[in-house]
Structure 1
Amino acid sequence: MASGTSQLIWGLLLLSIDCLISVFLSSWHGPFPSVASLSSQFPFSFFTSTIDLLLLTFIRALLYILPSAFITSGNGYRLPTVLHVEYSFSLLMYAASPTKLLFLHEKLGADEVAPIGDYLFLAWNAIAALIMDISWRTYFSHTPSTYVTLNENEEDENQSPRETFQLILRLLQYCKREWVWHVSGFTWLFIYSLTRIFVPYYTGQVVASVVETQDHTALKAAVYVMTVISFISAIAGGLRGGSFEYAYARINRAIRFDLFTGLVRQDIAFYDAHKTGEIASRLTADCQTMSDTVALNVNVFLRNIVMLFGSMLFMMSLSWRLSLITFILVPIIFVASKIFGTYYDLLSERTQNAIADSNDVAEEVLSTMRTVRSFACERVEGDRFYEKLTVTLAVTRTKAIAYVGFIWVSEVFQTFIIVAVLWYGGHLVLSGKMKKELLVSFLLYQMQLGDNLRQMGEVWTGLMQSVGASRKVFEYIDREPSIQHHGTCQQEVRGKIEFRNVHFSYPTRPHQPILRDLSFTVEPGETVALVGPSGSGKSSCIALLENFYQPNAGQVLIDGMPLEEYEHHYIHRKIALVGQEPILFARSVHENVSYGLDGIPMEDIINSSKMANAHDFILQTTNKYETNVGEKGSQMSGGQKQRIAIARALVRGPAILLLDEATSALDTESEHVVQEAIYKNLDGKSVILIAHRLSTVEKADKIIVIHKGRVEEMGNHDSLLKKGGIYANLVHRQMMADSKETPSSIQSSSTREVEVSRALSISPSNQNTTKSLLGTSFTQSNSSFQSK
């Protein structure tokens, strides 16, 4: 990164070279360089002197020393913003050279030329402006490291800012992929543009034949040529449009596929930090904007660039003096395009963000419509969505105002160009420096050129809109997940699970530890219950076993090997999860049970459904195994969803089964059926279950009590009761609560333990009183998935 001193030295070096060359060329206002030639330019005249170009050298000198001045004053962070100002000055300096050339030739005769030093000075003025612009872009505008500030979003801290030009090149790469259709489109586009170039010339010939010669033969010939050109143009234009339209659709598919594949490989922490609605908006609105605008604008740009260069060649052949008028004003139009384009880029990004926010609200409300309706919050949510739409409207209004300003500036300059061409063209005709019959053709070319420039300005605006939409899309595509699935091990899994000194906190809350030096072991075929209050870290253990996250310290081992060393697809067939609220996809029962398995026999699906006690109710549905379960399983009851989820886990033949409160949200009858489905299929499998119900916990081979991220107690049900610790106190409290409902004499400690033991054989009618025993006897905390 450049320092203020090095920038000053480099600036002074370029400044010295620029000043020496400029002074030398300004003194070459004659046959050879001399002081006399320099002094002969006084008194100053725009038509005979080049001294005024030294003023531009002085402006460049200020721009060369500006970076070091900004850094010295502590404003080095503003240098990237000043780059836009420098670019505008560079374009104006380019325009100064052809302007001065016209002034110098105004007082010369048709066959006279200016001194060679004047032409070299004009050329150096343009070259020096180019050198200054390149220097600023590659060196001067770099912010010193002392001024680099961290982004508020920690996820973006290690990412370099995306330059607009780089994003445009990245967008054009998608056009390159569809080169076949673009070659077809460009071929027809070239033919179309080439035919349109000749229209102004033959239009001028028609006018000339009518006004000057009044010759019907010349008129017919010109009209005939115009007809053939228009017919060819129409055919080429249609084929061009069809080729590009199909290319747009393929580009849209490519962008959406790249984004979707980039999203699905992200780690779970990414989805903890980003809302689903926002991501969906990037996948729909942003991708559509990118594919439409970039492909369309490439089409428009290439069409206009061919017509632009063709028109300029014709114009130069008709009158180089009049053509310089255009070259003078075009850089000025580019200045306006640069200013408005940069601002439009910013507004486009804000618009896409606002749209993403509103889509996020819509997705959240529509996916939780039952809750919204149950609390009669339709109007509340409608107002919230309207507020988001209003924010989008406000940004769009600002964007519209900016666009109005851009069109005004463009139209004013276009009008000014036409007026200048009319005045100067008339002046050349009256002074005998141009034939009058060529003025009409030149004016038509000028209007066509103006239209080409206007459309190219709109292309830049459109590309800025694509750039604004593409920033987040490319950020998501390029984002490398923190958990890389590079493991290759596919050894047979026996089912031994070991947590070894595990420390863990969620990436979204790195300063809030969840697990603290947690260690325990599950032997192959053993059933282990994790109990503890919400927020103690039970579900975090399940999340680590599923490799959703990786521990901050310590290891999670399967059969003595770190979990991350197993092949991603293989280990997730050997570890199956049944959650409290299993998610089913809006597909058939068959597709949900066989999810992620290719070519699995129907017999295996039926067998796993029978083991999950799901086969009977599936056969009672309309289409049996082809019945669609609805969005997130909405067409199924809670117990039915749980049993389908169990079948989905069992069909994989897992060695390890994870049950995260798989029955806590069910009614008594459904719980009994689901528990029966679970426990009759545990033989030979290592099981970790999280449960708040004693009827589930008592059957475990080992019970691990986790409190504040640490293992407080470990043992089977009877041993923990005899130990008289946290677990026993929980049971005792529940029994005391039950004794209030059934008065009895004061019991001794030993008698109470007998009662507790009897209570563990809980009948279905008593399950409601004990179902949250282990979940509510602790102090309650955040019950979100992340805090469990």
Structure 2
Amino acid sequence: RVLAAMAEDGWLFALAMGTSVVAAIAGVLSSQHIGAIFDIMADGGHPSHSLPRAVAQLVGVYAARALLTFVSATLLSMAVNRLSTRLQAELVSSLLQQDIAFFDGAAQGALAQSVAADVKEATAAVKHVLQNGLQMLTAVLGGACSLYLLSRRLSLLMLTAIPLTAIVFQRFGTYVRALSRRERAATAAAASIVSESVGNIRTVQSFVAERLEAARFEEELRSALALRHTLGMLRGAFFGLLAFALHGVTALVVAVGGSLVASGQMTHGDVSAFLAQTREVISAYGGLTRLADEARDGALAMRRVVELLERQPTLLVRQLEGGDERPAAATTAGLRPAHVDGRVEFRGVHFAYPQRPDVPVLRGLDLTLEAGKVTALV
């Protein structure tokens, strides 16, 4: 269903993805230009105009990357915004066709959230996966090839260390995010206590339960506060270890690369290019791990949206569009009388809400509604 909606703007998605890949390739090439600049500075035998030309080429690559990123982001934003608009319109249309029994068992806030928040979260995940995910994947693969061409020995060392380090930080980040969700849940629980107490203030004061409600609120606040302290400590440890890991990789590249330069296997520019490319690969690989979590959340939101889009009403619903009657798919067809004279007669009607079948509302109701008269059931 979602792919069919995306197909209407397939050319926009294709152009955005293509420019995103080219922008990532430009990022890989920029490291080579950095290495060339360092080689020129290390070797005084080059003509005087070589350095300005190399710097101009590097600036040109950066400018091309920035322009391609702008084009990709603009096209993808247009496509995703149109996709979001179509999904929201289809979702509201599907909701309006549902039976009353469906709304009796569904929370109105949850339905409104599906129309707004779920569609927004799902389409945002589509945007980030198609733009950032594709760009990061290209940067990782292209960067790995570039590292291998610069130095097989050093690249094998880095391509072994980087994934292992990224996995450790990804697990750490997953635990921190789970703890953050617990903290938000505790904060929401405290807020719900306030809402319930204020909304039922007459009952609270009638039972002289002001202190009890305040104590409940303070208990939830203490739970949330303890989680916030733990989160602050873990986030500090995360960013501290991340900085240490990045500097450690830099030190490792400089140490091993320096020995390779001394043995004549690499140049100063090769080491500089390798270091710049390594940082690009680390950044892209870390972004992919974070994007995987975001994609999972987006997939869950998209599943909720699709479930509502594909839900069919129990009775056949006919709607007039442009003067034509178009029946919607349904599990049970309703009756369509050939002639209606305005007189409606009910005989032995029994009714209970589907969510409360043990609480009957009507029992054997007999009622005749004459044409042109208004009748009220009290």
TM more than 0.5: yes
Q: Which has the larger radius of gyration?
A: 1
Partner in structure 2 of residue 326 of structure 1: 158
Partner in structure 2 of residue 499 of structure 1: 347
Partner in structure 2 of residue 187 of structure 1: 18
Partner in structure 2 of residue 421 of structure 1: 253
Q: Does 1:250 align with 2:82?
A: yes
* Structure 2 gaps, min length 5: 202-209, 318-332
8 Å Cα contact 1:278-1:357 kept in structure 2: no
8 Å Cα contact 2:87-2:119 kept in structure 1: yes
8 Å Cα contact 1:181-1:244 kept in structure 2: yes
Partner in structure 2 of residue 213 of structure 1: 44
Matched residue of 1:493: which SS? coil
8 Å Cα contact 1:190-1:306 kept in structure 2: yes
Question: What CA distance in whole angstroms lies between the structure 2 residues aligned with 1:248 and 1:348?
Answer: 27
Q: Tell me the CA shift for residue 315 of structure 1.
A: 1.0
1:690 maps to a residue whose letter is: L
Match of 2:357 among 510, 525, 528: 510
1:283 maps to a residue whose letter is: V
* Structure 1 gaps, min length 5: 1-169, 373-379, 526-654, 656-680, 692-788
8 Å Cα contact 2:23-2:68 kept in structure 1: yes
Q: Does 1:689 align with 2:376?
A: yes
Match of 1:230 among 50, 62, 65: 62
Q: Tell me the CA shift for residue 258 of structure 1.
A: 3.5
Question: What CA distance in whole angstroms lies between the structure 2 residues aligned with 1:174 and 1:355?
Answer: 35
Question: What CA distance in whole angstroms lies between the structure 1 residues aligned with 2:295 and 2:237?
Answer: 18
Q: Does 1:450 align with 2:297?
A: no
Question: What CA distance in whole angstroms lies between the structure 1 residues aligned with 2:301 and 2:290?
Answer: 17
Question: What CA distance in whole angstroms lies between the structure 1 residues aligned with 2:111 and 2:60?
Answer: 52
2:170 maps to a residue whose letter is: S
1:356 and 1:197, CA in 2 relative to 1: closer, same or farther beyond 3 A?
farther
Alpha-carbon RMSD across the aligned residues, in angstroms, is: 4.4
2:36 maps to a residue whose letter is: Q
Q: Tell me the CA shift for residue 316 of structure 1.
A: 1.0
Counterparts in 2 of 1:261-276, with a 5 A limit?
Answer: 261-276=93-108
Q: Tell me the CA shift for residue 426 of structure 1.
A: 3.2
Q: How many residues align?
A: 341
Question: What CA distance in whole angstroms lies between the structure 1 residues aligned with 2:244 and 2:51?
Answer: 35
1:487 maps to a residue whose letter is: G
1:512 maps to a residue whose letter is: V
2:167 maps to a residue whose letter is: F
1:478 and 1:419, CA in 2 relative to 1: closer, same or farther beyond 3 A?
farther
Partner in structure 1 of residue 366 of structure 2: 520
2:354 maps to a residue whose letter is: P
1:350 and 1:481, CA in 2 relative to 1: closer, same or farther beyond 3 A?
farther
2:83 maps to a residue whose letter is: I
Partner in structure 1 of residue 28 of structure 2: 197
Q: Does 1:317 align with 2:4?
A: no
1:451 and 1:270, CA in 2 relative to 1: closer, same or farther beyond 3 A?
same
Question: What CA distance in whole angstroms lies between the structure 2 residues aligned with 1:428 and 1:419?
Answer: 14
Question: What CA distance in whole angstroms lies between the structure 2 residues aligned with 1:493 and 1:190?
Answer: 63
1:484 and 1:409, CA in 2 relative to 1: closer, same or farther beyond 3 A?
farther
Q: TM-score, normalised by structure 1?
A: 0.37
Matched residue of 2:17: which SS? helix
Question: What CA distance in whole angstroms lies between the structure 2 residues aligned with 1:265 and 1:399?
Answer: 45
Matched residue of 1:489: which SS? coil
1:248 maps to a residue whose letter is: V
1:210 and 1:298, CA in 2 relative to 1: closer, same or farther beyond 3 A?
same
Partner in structure 1 of residue 336 of structure 2: 489
1:194 and 1:331, CA in 2 relative to 1: closer, same or farther beyond 3 A?
closer
8 Å Cα contact 2:35-2:268 kept in structure 1: no
Q: Tell me the CA shift for residue 175 of structure 1.
A: 5.1
Q: Tell me the CA shift for residue 313 of structure 1.
A: 1.4
Counterparts in 2 of 1:667-682, with a 5 A limit?
Answer: 681-682=372-373
Question: What CA distance in whole angstroms lies between the structure 1 residues aligned with 2:315 and 2:130?
Answer: 38
Q: Does 1:239 align with 2:85?
A: no
Question: What CA distance in whole angstroms lies between the structure 2 residues aligned with 1:498 and 1:515?
Answer: 11
8 Å Cα contact 1:203-1:441 kept in structure 2: yes
Question: What CA distance in whole angstroms lies between the structure 1 residues aligned with 2:337 and 2:365?
Answer: 25
Matched residue of 1:499: which SS? strand
Q: 1:437-472 CA distances to partner (integer Å, 9 max, x unpaired)?
A: 422211111112122223223323433443464454
Q: TM-score, normalised by structure 2?
A: 0.71
1:232 maps to a residue whose letter is: A
2:42 maps to a residue whose letter is: V
Question: What CA distance in whole angstroms lies between the structure 2 residues aligned with 1:356 and 1:263?
Answer: 30
1:240 maps to a residue whose letter is: S
Matched residue of 2:43: which SS? helix
1:312 and 1:261, CA in 2 relative to 1: closer, same or farther beyond 3 A?
same
1:450 maps to a residue whose letter is: I
Matched residue of 2:376: which SS? strand
Give aligned-pair identity as a percent. 20
Matched residue of 1:689: which SS? coil
Matched residue of 1:690: which SS? coil
1:346 and 1:272, CA in 2 relative to 1: closer, same or farther beyond 3 A?
farther
8 Å Cα contact 2:91-2:309 kept in structure 1: yes
Matched residue of 2:49: which SS? helix
8 Å Cα contact 2:20-2:72 kept in structure 1: yes
Counterparts in 2 of 1:644-683, with a 5 A limit?
Answer: 681-682=372-373
Matched residue of 1:213: which SS? coil
8 Å Cα contact 1:315-1:445 kept in structure 2: yes
1:228 and 1:462, CA in 2 relative to 1: closer, same or farther beyond 3 A?
same
The structure with the greater share of residues assigned to helix is: 2
8 Å Cα contact 1:410-1:454 kept in structure 2: no
Q: Tell me the CA shift for residue 290 of structure 1.
A: 3.0
Question: What CA distance in whole angstroms lies between the structure 1 residues aligned with 2:296 and 2:153?
Answer: 34
8 Å Cα contact 1:251-1:291 kept in structure 2: yes
Partner in structure 1 of residue 122 of structure 2: 290
8 Å Cα contact 2:42-2:268 kept in structure 1: no
Counterparts in 2 of 1:329-478, with a 5 A limit?
Answer: 329-332=161-164, 333-334=166-167, 336-337=169-170, 340-341=173-174, 344=177, 410-430=242-262, 433-467=265-299, 469-470=301-302, 472-478=304-310
Counterparts in 2 of 1:11-26, with a 5 A limit?
Answer: none
